[in-house]
Structure 1
Amino acid sequence: MMPRSLLTVMFALAALAAQAATVEGRLSGPEGTDLSAWRVVAMAAPSSLLPADAAAAPVAADGSFRLEVEGANTVFAVPYHGQTMDLSAFVPRHVDPNEPLELKTLGARAVVRLSLRGPDRAAVTGQPTAYLIGPFGPLDAAGQVVTAESGLEYQNLPAGTYSLWFDTRGTGSNVAAAVASFTVEPGATPLTLPGELPAAGGVSGRLVLADGQVAAGWTIASQSGAEPADPASDLAWAAGATRAYAATATGADGTFSLDGLAAGPTTLDVRRPGEMRAWWSFEVDVPAGASSAVGDLTVPAASWRHLFNGTDLTGWKQAGLWGEVPSFVNSGRLFVPTGEDMSGINWDVAEPPIWDYEVTFQGQRVEGRDFWAGLTFPVGEDPLTLILGGWGGAITGLSSIDGFDASSNQTSTFIQYDNWRWYRVRLAVNHESVRVWVDDEQIIDQPLGEVRLSIRFETEKNRPFGFATWNTAGALRDIRIRPLAGE
């Protein structure tokens, strides 16, 4: 009889062999693309910047590569051009050693130059530092200083969407600590992109608790969907913001002065001392080139309820839609994959709020050309679905009003969503109306009154509260719900 210790070793080796695999793949691209400039890495969590210790598989001139995979069905094949992740070739699905691995890049741009101006085409003052950010984190830790004469230049960026954060702290700059997105198209010749940064503004006031005590040592900051590993890193927080990121702490008397905000309607989060997640949020109007005194901001005893913990699907369940592919969590985001035709995930709650509540979340389309989020939610006893990017990728609206869906009723609007760019969505429901904002811009104010509310049959299984995609993959994070203040 074989000794137990030897059996244990054999079983362990068999399990290890089952998890390890060599996967042959192929990268293709436009005619004339030098595919040997790419590498592919098997990673459990993608990174915008190639890790220094990554075991990268070289890509041959014909596009072929061999990827050594540890933990099949739990890792991604992440393509890099130089040190930068190539989002155009990234497939947001785990590597299956039994399936062919086919990646397709759009290519890269040899040189990208950004010609930057301040408000009203004025020169940028104060020499802020610009940091390049990809969807999976910052790409340059040092940043580039912006002067009145210089713009920004980046080399060999793969095609895709990127963001910049302009750190204006202590510079007295005329521009905000803006988070600005731009899109790179492939090509051999230099690409010059103009950019006008928003005017800097600020707010000052006092943060007060519901019992009348001052809120000392709280953080008040631009709303961000990130939960950084290093909470002291403003760059990491900025990677989760959509318009600008600035932060400060309240004093012993609860007072604060927050500069570097982008002028216009702005949402500010407040966080309790030592905590990462927002307790409450306030909407303020930021003036251009000045600071506005907002007086006392009172923090209610009730807080945001955070529905997604960023690490697993606790509190969520599969919707059971036709052709659904199971959702999964990676890199702090909830992926709803491309299905046939749909995929979906529901909040696992028996009785969600039905009146006088507000929901906010960040989301992005990561693959496909249709709606990357269809949020079904209750309006009293009736359901509605907010469609983001449907009917070819841009239609946004409510389905359905008086039997007409989001493509053909009065809520229909056109928004061109960029893949891999985060959008902040906010939805408020009361007895009078349903209101929707995207990136602090209100796009829907639908009175209730005599209208008839319903949903399409495809999203019935998302009731009472759930997300769906249509032939498209989406990602979600920072999903919150709260009672409407004063309603």
Structure 2
Amino acid sequence: MRKIKSWTGILISMSVACFQATLVGGETITLFDGETLGEWESIEFGGEGEVHVSFDGSLILENGNPFTAIVWSGNPKGLPKKNYEISLEAKKYYGDDFFCGLTFPVNDSHATFICGGWGGAIVGFSSIDGKDASLNETRKLMSFDDGRWYALRVRVTDNQVSAWIDDKPVFNVELKGKAINLRAGPIEQCVPLGIANYRTRSGFRNIELRHLGSTLADEGK
């Protein structure tokens, strides 16, 4: 079950307007205005932490037991499935597991970009052929400092999913011949677009979606 906190009923009018129509190549829209949750809804797992906007304009997901997450509730017809990028900045305040699990569309399926999972150090893409980020080809070990902002970006094209942290490549998945899906469990409630953490307090800002268009996607711009 999903619920909206009673004090977050204001919508971000810019996001609503943009998602009523198909985005054109190169167009970027803001998905969080730094003032209200807008079209982001808190997900009720049972044991989830509070979701709120901080005085500094960041979106805070408090430490949950174990999950805290938000899901975008706008018009799904306006959300691209390929040839787009999502970028955001994420900060881990404290915790012992992932501070950002970004769930997003991949053609007719969905996947999750995990940062700091399985004890705080694993980065990767869940899932490929039924294997999550701890088991598949994208698994990478990284350390993350508490209190530091990290710039995250994921790009989805017809044939690839790529991701960067602070503009450094972390994985590039060729989609041909692979089954892309979510890890079974609570993360499935983050469809079609969501952000989660696990036993961790984290913050987010500058959440943006950029439609690449086929030309920009092919050129890798």
With the length of structure 1 as denominator, give the TM-score of the two structures.
0.38
> Following the alignment from structure 2 to structure 1, what is the Cα–Cα distance between the partners of residues 201 and 159?
33
Quote the offset at 1:458 in angstroms: 2.0
CA distances 1:101-132 after superposition (whole Å, capped 9, x unpaired): xxxxxxxxxxxxxxxxxxxxxxxxxxxxxxxx
Opposite residue 306 of structure 1, the aligned amino acid is T
- Does structure 2 retain, via aligned residues, the 8 Å contact 1:364–1:423? yes
Shift of 1:346: 1.2
2:210 maps to which residue? 482
Taking structure 1 as reference, are residues 356 and 367 closer, same or farther at Cα in structure 2, changes over 3 Å only?
A: same
Alpha-carbon displacement from aligned partner over 1:254-297 (angstroms, at most 9, x marks no partner): xxxxxxxxxxxxxxxxxxxxxxxxxxxxxxxxxxxxxxxxxxxx
Distance in structure 2 (CA, Å) of the matches to 1:478 and 1:464: 19
In the aligned structure 2, how far is the partner of 1:354 from the partner of 1:336? Answer: 26
Cα gap change, 1:326 to 1:395, in 2 (>3 Å): same
- Residue 90 of structure 2 aligns with which residue? 363
Structure 1 match to 2:197:
469
Alpha-carbon distance in structure 1 between the residues aligned to 2:122 and 2:203:
18
CA RMSD across the alignment: 1.4
Q: Give the deviation of 1:350 after TM superposition.
A: 3.1
1:348 Cα shift? Answer: 1.9
Counterpart of 2:182 (choices 430, 451, 455) is 455
Does 2:69 align with 1:344?
yes
Structure 2: tracts of 5 or more residues without a match: 1-23
* 2:165 aligns with one of 399, 417, 438: 438
Show the 5 A alignment for 1:146-295: none
| Higher gyration radius (CA) | 1
Q: Which structure 1 residue ranges, 5 or more long, are not aligned?
A: 1-299
Aligned pairs for 1:13-412 (under 5 A) are: 303-330=27-54, 331-351=56-76, 352-412=79-139
CA deviation after TM superposition for structure 1 residue 367, in Å: 1.6
- The residue identity in structure 2 corresponding to 1:342 is F
Q: Distance in 1 between matches of 2:110 and 2:25?
A: 29
Q: Give the distance between the partners of 1:442 and 1:319, measured in 2 at CA.
A: 30
Deviation at 1:473, TM superposition (A): 1.0
Check the 8 A contact 2:25/2:212 in 1, yes or no. no
User: Which structure ranks higher in relative contact order (CA pairs < 8 Å, sequence separation ≥ 6)?
Assistant: 2
Matched pairs, number: 188
SS in 2 for 1:461: helix
Residue pair 2:111, 2:125 contacting (<8 A) in 1 also: yes
Preserved CA contact (<8 Å) 1:370 1:472: yes
CA contact (8 A) 1:429 1:435 kept: yes
8 A contact 2:27–2:212 mirrored in 1: no
Letter in 1 for 2:200: T
TM-score scaled by length of structure 2:
0.82
Secondary structure of 1:460's counterpart equals helix
Q: Deviations over 1:178-214 (max 9, x none)?
A: xxxxxxxxxxxxxxxxxxxxxxxxxxxxxxxxxxxxx
C-alpha distance 302-398 of structure 1, shift in aligned 2 (>3 A): closer
Does the Cα contact within 8 Å between 1:386 and 1:399 map onto a contact in 2? yes
Partner of 2:169, secondary structure, is strand
